Structure 1
Amino acid sequence: MPDPGEGLTEAEILKWYVQPGDTVTDGQVVCEVETAKAAVELPSPYDGVVDELRCGEGDVVAVGVPIITVRTTAADTPVIAEAPGRQPVLVGYGVAASTTERRPRKGSTAPASWSDTVLTSEPRPLAKPPVRKLAKDLGVDLATVTPTGPDGIITREDVHAAVAPAAPAGPVAAPAPVLAYDTARETRIPVKGVRKATAAAMVGSAFTAPHVTEFVTVDVTRTMKLVEELKQDTEFAGLRVNPLLLISKALLVAIKRNPDVNASWDEANQEIVQKHYVNLGIAAATPRGLIVPNIEDAHAKTLPQLAQALGELVSTARDGRTTPAAMQGGTVTITNVGVFGVDTGTPLLNPGESAILAIGAIKPQPWVHKGKVRPRQVTTLALSFDHRLVDGELGSKVLADVAAILEQPKRLITWA
């Protein structure tokens, strides 16, 4: 399993596209894996024949564990096309230099046997970063620890067992009973991949950043009329025009008028990091769980460009092809709970961001308009923000600006 980057240590094999005996070429996709960030396709970097699939679909595999064996066809002799010591990354910053064995060039002598190319150096013990830190703190050499985790991964319990004193001799305690459950009445789903990462991120967000949420109910009748007008505009031909587009633009304008809201908290250096760009995150529900890809430099895009970027983001997310890189570096997020018929909510911040705007359902409601009660298109917006960075005044200004633009969309022109 190659290093997926972004500090990830494992991935689940979703699907194999090849079987033993199949011929593969350099660049051909051989399998799809899911990391804690997204689903990623793995290509073969070599020409050859699949000799063995070492892991099955559904297996969660640690970085560095072999998952497939390919015999190269050079000189009609089986060789290892890539030594295990080199672990290319799926995303991130390239690969670390290490000793490798490559296919012999035409006319050269191939290794005599498969085993001739196997590295003799000891592999690095498999352990996640928190476990490595624990071992370092306790003075435990991971090379001396017996792993009990899946695929030979060292767990926290393994590290503690390595320093725990030997138990005195005596009667062996009976094993704890395994709790059973009624499979006809319950279904248990392993928490892994994107769902596991989302759960950890939300817990970290809720108990790290002090959240404050403010609400405003808005008459968006004029915005809905503008949406219909833009659908007929030739400049938006072929593009998806909906309320999310104009609300996104309204938020970008509000951030321009109140730039201090676009920041992050650097705990290590005790600094507030103000961002001079906006990478606008859009929360998207997918079959694998909630993901938040973002539109890079959304503040610099025209309305048609923003419409195109939103359309591509949503389409890619629904197809399950959002890359890990597309979910990094967001600064502010929008979540649209209104599509589910929900009036409002108290959204949790995406980790590392200072604000998130929730859009409620847009529906006809009685509203006082020009001194009379009339049916109008109304929605409720909720803005959650990190109170370490954003005080009540700043958060209120941002939310009020978004509401004012949606009530009078012409402000998109005068304020942008």
Structure 2
Amino acid sequence: MSVSEFPLPDVGEGLTEAEIVSWRVQPGETITVNQVLCEIETAKSLVELPSPFAGTVDALLVAEGETVEVGTPIVRVREGTDAPAEAAPAAGSAASTAEVSAAATDTAESIDRDEKPGAVLVGYGAKGHVASRRRRAGSGGDAGGRHEGDAATSAVASRPAPSPFVPAASAGPVIAKPPIRKLAKDLGVDLQTVQPTGLAGEITRDDVIRQASQASVFRNIQTPDWPEVREERIPVKGVRKAIAQAMVRSAFAAPHVGLFVDVDATRTMEFVKRLKASPDFAGIKVSPMLIMAKAMIWAVRRNPMVNSTWTDEEIVVHHFVNFGFAAATPRGLVVPNVKNAQAMSLRELAQAIERLTITARDGKLQPVDMADGTITVTNIGVFGMDTGTPILNPGEVAIVALGTIKQKPWVVDGEVRPRFVTTLGASFDHRVVDGDVASRFLADVASVIEEPALLLD
């Protein structure tokens, strides 16, 4: 009988290290090929690692919560069916970030989670080993060490959050249908705190779900008591480290230029309402962001330079759209992208965005889901923000921010009328996109939001 050690593999995108979030097996347990051994957190996602061996777990070589480099042995397996030698004690059980991620999942989504794409990596083979990358100089340290504030961080994160309370947004009556009121009650949402977006000022299903999602993801919806510890030290690693590096690189490498425009989105809101009532979109999440995505794809075709990449030596103009959208998750900001979105129908695009959104909230995005984006939208309107100056996603030259859509006085045919109005904000890499191109692109996006019938062209 042979004893094999399984090293941390490179799961793609140039991975150099990862954190062991949780073990799914214990010493003495019999395992099969491709059975999930553990869940790791890389700089981009949570990933389940399958076993390349069949046999018995002899020892877990890395504790939960530890960050190790690619090539580091993480588990030892006795291949075959004989009883194992004396099992090593189980690794420590630091609080799993997967539990925090799962706690914030949007329970209102009408999707069968058993059908979502898995995150299992297969293909190592029964005897496969992953070659170790060369270790970086000066990367040593105490393999079992903990950061000073880990205990405090875990204590604060694991403390049950009290029910969110937000002062009433309006003293007037709430307009909502009985099913919407029941949904709000089930999700613990106070309808007085919800910003209505219905054409008659009523609260819609999406309004309730948006409020519930904010309360579950963002802790600052409420005002908690001061923690007992004076300071909280959060290690900079994983997604947060990747976000920081990407934003600094983008902000200081690409000269940003920003543009803003107010838009009458009343017809978009009417179009969204019709789509929700259409049998063709039954069970599919439809929101103004879907129309925004189609508007940007349409505008890219008319202004292809905004769908480019700067490489110092050349400008690569992409004649396809890998449409990215910024998604706020319990683990931080991620930007998945829909591949070849330009070839999709409105229904197909809605399904693709919904699938990636659910996968992101579950912390199961794979590196390929976030690679090779060409243009991005960030929907800050769901947080009640009117506009902003977004930072470019690295490798892209344009990003658009969709602000909140709410009723405002608007001049129509010389008369002031209540209309649904939004503000679009956009940033461009001025090395690639000149002011006239940027202006035409944003004007084209705005024209579709004002009149979605342009998408029929």
Local SS of the residue matching 1:216: strand
Percent identical: 56
Q: Any conservation in 2 of the 1:254–1:401 contact (CA below 8 Å)?
A: yes
Structure 1 unaligned spans of 5+ = 79-89, 104-122, 132-145, 153-181
What is the deviation of 1:7? 1.5
Q: 245, 248, 252: which is aligned to 1:203?
A: 248
Report the CA distance between 1:72 and its aligned residue.
1.1
Alignment partner of 1:149 is 2:141: yes
Q: Distance in 1 between matches of 2:43 and 2:139?
A: 23
Give the CA RMSD over aligned residues.
2.5
| Higher-Rg member (1/2) | 1
Match of 2:282 in 1: 237
Q: Quote the offset at 1:295 in angstroms.
A: 0.1
Q: Is the 8 A contact 2:28 2:84 kept in 1?
A: no
In 2, are the aligned partners of 1:262 and 1:354 still within 8 Å (CA)? yes
CA displacement at 1:282 relative to structure 2: 0.8
Q: Which residue of 2 aligns with 1:355?
A: 398
Cα distance in structure 2, aligned partners of 1:184 and 1:358: 37
Q: In the TM superposition, what whole-angstrom CA distance separates every residue of 1:117-145 from its partner, at most 9, and x where no partner exists?
A: xxxxxx87521xxx5xxxxxxxxxxxxxx
Tell me the amino acid that sits aligned with residue 17 of structure 1: R
Q: Give the partner amino acid of 2:311.
A: D
2:59 corresponds to which letter in structure 1?
Answer: E
1:250 aligned partner: 295
Could you tell me how far apart the structure 2 residues matched to 1:226 and 1:391 are?
33
The residue that corresponds to 1:167 in the other structure is none
With structure 2 as the length reference, what TM-score do the two structures score? 0.69
AA aligned to 1:35 is T
2:428 counterpart (385, 388, 399): 385
- Give the letter aligned to residue 378 of structure 1: V
1:303-346, CA deviations, whole angstroms, 9 ceiling, x for partnerless residues?
11111111111111111111111100000001001100011110
2:57 pairs, out of 32, 50, 58, with 50
Structure 2 residue corresponding to 1:185, chosen from 230, 250, 260 = 230
| Native 8 Å contact 2:250 2:392 kept in 1 | yes
In structure 2, stretches of 5+ residues that fail to align are 1-7, 86-118, 145-226
Matched AA of 1:402: V
Deviation at 1:5? 2.4
Distance 1:101 1:230, change over 3 A: closer
Distance 2:442 2:431 in 1: 18
State the distance in 2 between where 1:232 and 1:200 align: 43
| Alpha-carbon contact 1:4-1:91 (below 8 Å) kept | no
Aligned to 1:134: none
Code of the residue aligned with 1:408 in structure 2: it is E
Q: What is the rounded CA distance, in whole Å, between the counterparts of 1:279 and 1:383 in structure 2?
A: 18
Q: Deviations over 1:146-180 (max 9, x none)?
A: 8643559xxxxxxxxxxxxxxxxxxxxxxxxxxxx
Question: Does residue 22 in structure 1 map to residue 29 in structure 2?
Answer: yes
Shift, 1:376, TM fit: 0.7
Correspondence list, 1:174-323, <5 A? 184-267=229-312, 270-323=313-366
Kindly indicate whether residue 386 of structure 2 is the aligned counterpart of residue 343 of structure 1.
Answer: yes
Q: How does 1:90-169 map to 2 (within 5 A)?
A: 102=127, 126-127=135-136, 131=137, 148-151=140-143
Q: 1:91 to 1:356 in 2, by over 3 A?
A: farther
Amino acid at match of 2:135: L
TM-score normalised to the size of structure 1?
Answer: 0.76
Displacement, 1:185? 2.0
Deviation at residue 371 of structure 1 after TM alignment: 1.1
**In the alignment, which residue of structure 2 is the partner of 1:120?**
none
Give the Cα separation in 1 of the matches to 2:141 and 2:405.
49
Task: For residue 246 of structure 1, report the CA deviation from its aligned partner.
Answer: 0.4
